[in-house]
Amino acid sequence: MIKWSVQLSKQADIDLRKIYEYIAFTLLEPVTAGKLVQRIENKISKLNTMPQSYAVYPKEPWKSRGLRRTNEGKYAIFFVPTEIDQTVIVTRIMYGGRDIESILEDTP
């Protein structure tokens, strides 16, 4: 089985840090924040096998760009697999209850 390279975009890295900071410092739950970030990172690492098996995000313009989504608990992980170089780029990580389409529109 081919292993894909998985990379976080700068924005996804920022998203992950903000998730941690909000839970650890605003909600005052640093242990919970650490465990959540670890679960998200574990889910992301599993994208190295068969990333095309995840559903394509159904709305345009993201559908035609090959954007895919998976979840870890209440958090959505968006990524684009590129078959040419067997690379998965994680583009955004966000709480699933947010206005996802507005956030995606603001993502370069």
Q: Are 80 and 67 in contact (CB under 8 A)?
A: yes
pLDDT digits (tens, 9 = 90+) for 56-96: 999 999 999 999 999 999 999 999 999 999 999 999 999 99
Question: Could you tell me the fold of the domain covering 5-105?
Answer: YaeB-like fold (3.30.2310)
Q: Whole-prediction pTM value? A: 0.94
Place of tokens 């507005």: 102
Residue 1 or 9, more confident = 9
Rounded Cα–Cα distance for residues 51 and 70 (Å): 10
Pairing of strands 75-82, 87-95: antiparallel
Element (H, E) at 68: strand 68-72
Residue among 90, 73, 85 nearest 16 (CA): 90
Could you tell me the residue ranges of all domains in the chain? Answer: 5-105
**Average of per-residue pLDDT values in the chain:** 95
